Amino acid sequence: MDQTFYLRIADELYLKRLIIGGIDKVYELSKDFRNEGMDRNHNPEFTMLEWYEAYSDYEDQMDRVENIIRLAAEAVGKTKINLAHSDIDLTKAFDKKPFLDLLKDATGYDLSDADEKKLRSICSEHQIEVSKDENFGQLLDDLMHRLVEPNLIQPVFVIDYPKAISPLAKPHRNGDPNLVERFELFIGGAKFCQFFFLN
């Protein structure tokens, strides 16, 4: 065949071009590929639904995600499932919990004013190995991945992420300069979606 082929990592650029061109709502359900290693949550080839929508907000998109999950569950006839040895009812409203509140519950510390030194100390206290090169945002992310995410069994939107983790996301409408409008949905200890508004 003597042809060069490429595997795409995301649909983002094509969809953003359509939004810029004046189409208010765009989506694509497609295969994507990432060479980032494999584990129980990551496969080099996967199917992803990605969309962009003008004139909507943070809350609108959480409603949309919840409805998509619920419709998919209804389509396969399984609105009640057992994951991680827990019964999960996808017909109930999904909970919403702020990122820093979840970390406070897991660590016992209010991290809203913490510095890098404090985060390193908390990581050490919880036997989380971190590199000396990791920055403040990466340390927060390490704590979240190790101490919180595996325990998010019932459907929950983790909201109000620190700016240090999502610097390109839109500042939070509540005026807190350290927070952004980003959310992730977790079910059964696994991430089902990530969403943020571009600044």
Give the homologous superfamily in CATH for domain 80-196. Answer: Bira Bifunctional Protein; Domain 2 (3.30.930.10)
Statement: the pTM of the whole predicted model exceeds 0.75: yes
Banded pLDDT at 77 (limits 50, 70, 90): very high
Query: Which H helix or E strand runs over 159?
Result: strand 156-162
pLDDT digits over 144-155, tens only?
999 999 999 999
Q: Which of 163, 160, 122 is nearest to 139 (CA)?
A: 122
* Interior angle at CA 68, CA 86 and CA 173, nearest 5: 95
pLDDT value, residue 37: 77
The mean predicted confidence, pLDDT, of the chain is 92
Please give the structure tokens belonging to residue 161: 């992420």
pLDDT digits over 155-192, tens only?
999 999 999 999 889 999 999 999 999 999 999 999 99
The Cα-based distances of 163 to 139, 191, 194 in angstroms read: 13, 20, 15
Please give the structure tokens belonging to residue 59: 């809350």
Domain extents in the chain: 80-196
